[in-house]
Amino acid sequence: MADNNKQKKKPAITLQWGSAVYFVLYLYALLMTQLLRNPISNVFFWFMVIAAPLCFFIMLIGRAAIQVYVMTDRQATEKLSPIEYEIRVLNNSPLPYPFVEAIMSKPRDDGVRCLHQRLVLSLIPFGGYSVKSNVSFRYRGLYEIGVHELYICDPLRLFKMRVDINNFSNVTVYPRKLEFEKDNESAVSDVPSPTVRVLDSRDKSEVSNIREYRLGDSLKAIHWKLSSKAEEWQVKDYNTNNDRHTYIFVDLAAPTPAPEVRKEEARKLLKKLTKNKKSAEDGEGEEKLTLRDRIEAFFEDIEEKKRERRYRRRRQKGTSARDIETIDMIDSLIKETSSKKKKAKKDNKKAKKADSPDTQTQEAENGETAEEMIARLTEIAGDDKKKATEDELTRAKRAWGGIVKAEFEDELPEFCADGVIEIAVAAMNSEIKKGNKCTVVWYDSRDDRGICTVDLCELSDIDDTYLRFASAKVVSSDKRICDLTGVIGEAVNVTIRIITANIDPESIAEYCSVPTMFGGAGTGCVSEILLFNPCDKYLSARERLEYTNSARLQLKMNGLSLSDIIEVQQADGRAVLIQSDII
């Protein structure tokens, strides 16, 4: 299959089929003028002489007279909220232009993405063409609505001129600001009772009780004034959770593939790389370059196979070949823009570290050579060189949480990230309304550290950080939640909310280790997992629910609670979230 991601622009001026007819008629007029030598043949000849320059001049007038306007009722909106847009192509000249083509970027009817569409227009003098519609976007992100380019033909269709317009109206779509249902709403920091006490707690900001001295009590806890009046030792007790501070960890990582799937992919890649390495031993200097080129070519081959699979799936769903071509082109443009930004950011970091004496050493450690890549893949693939069968891969995927439907494999990471962000916003509102302070932590490549941490005390703080948080990108599956717990300064009496869509065995093992980092539940550590669980995206929703219930029991045994967050519609049509802990 051809590479649909690369769509070349047509030349600025091209000849149309009418130019061939014009050339034949021009020769005929020239011949008749020489043979007949009458006024009619002369008039016809001179008409053919001036027709081509006149048509070209009319086309130039159209280039200046035809204008494009793009309007939307707002530049930012929430997901699934209707937005109205209008695209106008106006002819401000007294000349008609019956053959105009416009390459527009318009939203699909289902609101998943914007597609390039070719529309053929017929513009009357001082007239125009308008496209007006409403759309509700299903995913967050930046959507471009407008016109890329126009192709203007003269009335005789001798020439076609390309006019680059690039007039767009950018619409930024954010996740919805949902809330928990009032009857169902709870804050994790409410779980510990206000009178829960630990004898040697490090968090002693409020006295909860006065009692008699018991063996083992710290001398610092003695209330000296009351002890002198009561003529016996009186000791102060402290709340372990009086600051009502909750840490919210937002997991935006893509789903982790099953080990068997990773091993199979590593085996295929190793087989190809080792084969390329044998043929790249002409010289030490040339070997690195040749091997690197072959590795890049191999990854391009993998991407090509992925495109072929996506093409077949979309054709099976009834999408036309032209629509598939425009979808792939948009995806490639987004990917190219993202890679350029990452490369620029990486180059800036290298420039800042140029004066450091350890620059070369750091680059050697951070950069992965071909040999290091082969070693890493060998470690992933293991000693077992046997190729996994389809049945083995299917069983591995089921044991890893279920099999995702083929049509949702590409969009599942972004879909889950949308749901996780909406739940996180609801959790922030819940904590603040309960009078709790909370710290929100998530991976963010836009931050120099790669991690973004925000402290929230009031509802206005959520609004201040919402735009940045809602536009956070999906991160790779190796970005683990446990690595974020380093921001917690307390050693005991910690309340944690983990908001995620990942409950594979590796993630569950990491979640189970969180309470033990802070002394366990016996020292006042309370941990809760809020799960976005898109069961309808899996081949078997029942298997997915059974797996979730087994994960819930395993987490409960390790001191964590797992709640499925479900979206429901209230009687007034407003969407709210509810927590479900039923097995």
* CA torsion, ordered 170, 175, 179, 184, to nearest 10 deg: 160
The class (CATH top level) of 13-174 is: mainly beta
Other beta carbons less than 10 A from residue 72's beta carbon: 19
How far is it, in rounded angstroms, from Cα 28 to Cα 30? 5
Other beta carbons less than 10 A from residue 211's beta carbon: 14
Cβ burial 301-329 (10 Å sphere, 16+ → b, else e): eeeeeebeebbeebeeeeeeeeebbbbbb
Beta bridge partners of 210: 236
Instruction: Name every residue whose Cβ is closer than 8 Å to that of residue 70 and which is 6 or more positions away in sequence.
Output: 85, 86, 87, 88, 145, 146, 147, 167, 168, 169
The amino acid present at 382, given as its one-letter code, is G
Q: Could you tell me the two tokens for 22?
A: 């014009």
Residue 509 and residue 482 in contact, taking contact as beta carbons nearer than 8 Å: no
Beta bridge partners of 569: 575
How far is it, in rounded angstroms, from Cα 114 to Cα 129? 20
Q: Could you tell me the two tokens for 274?
A: 């080792």
Ranges of each domain in the chain: 13-174, 207-238, 243-255+409-580, 259-348+368-386
CA-closest candidate to residue 259, choices 392, 404, 407, 415? 392
Other beta carbons less than 10 A from residue 448's beta carbon: 8
- What are the CA-CA distances from residue 516 to residues 119, 202, 439, 558 (Å)? 62, 17, 20, 9
Domain 243-255+409-580 has CATH 1.10.287: no
pLDDT value at residue 351: 55
The amino acid present at 271, given as its one-letter code, is K
Instruction: Name every residue whose Cβ is closer than 8 Å to that of residue 258 and which is 6 or more positions away in sequence.
Output: 393, 396, 397, 399, 400, 504
Pairing of strands 66-72, 141-153: unpaired
How far is it, in rounded angstroms, from Cα 345 to Cα 75? 27
Coil, strand or helix at 480? coil
Pairing of strands 560-569, 575-580: antiparallel
Cβ burial 106-134 (10 Å sphere, 16+ → b, else e): bbbeebebbbbeeeebebeeeebbebeee
DSSP state of 305: H
Q: Tokens 């007279």 correspond to what residue?
A: 65
DSSP state of 414: H
pLDDT value at residue 509: 87
pLDDT in tens, the chain (583 residues): 333 434 566 788 899 888 999 999 999 888 888 887 788 888 888 988 999 999 999 999 999 999 999 999 999 998 888 999 999 999 999 999 999 999 999 998 878 788 888 999 999 999 999 999 999 998 888 899 999 999 999 999 999 999 999 999 999 999 988 888 875 555 555 544 333 434 344 444 456 567 777 655 667 778 888 888 777 888 776 554 445 789 999 999 887 766 655 555 556 665 665 655 555 444 444 444 455 555 666 666 667 777 777 777 776 666 766 667 767 666 666 666 666 555 666 666 555 544 443 433 333 334 455 555 555 555 544 555 555 566 666 776 777 778 888 888 888 888 899 999 999 999 999 899 888 889 999 998 888 888 999 999 888 888 888 888 988 888 888 888 888 888 887 777 788 999 999 888 888 888 888 888 876 655 667 889 999 998 888 888 888 888 888 889 888 888 888 999 998 888 888 888 988 765 5
**In 412-519, which ranges are continuous DSSP H helix?**
412-433, 459-470, 505-517
pLDDT value at residue 337: 64
Residue 504 and residue 256 in contact, taking contact as beta carbons nearer than 8 Å: yes
Other beta carbons less than 10 A from residue 555's beta carbon: 20
- What are the CA-CA distances from residue 496 to residues 333, 549, 566 (Å)? 39, 21, 20
Residue 540 and residue 402 in contact, taking contact as beta carbons nearer than 8 Å: yes
Residue 119 and residue 85 in contact, taking contact as beta carbons nearer than 8 Å: no
**In 8-91, which ranges are continuous DSSP H helix?**
17-36, 39-65
Kind and range of the H or E run holding 401: none
Cβ burial 380-399 (10 Å sphere, 16+ → b, else e): ebeeeeeebeeeebeebbbe
The amino acid present at 207, given as its one-letter code, is V
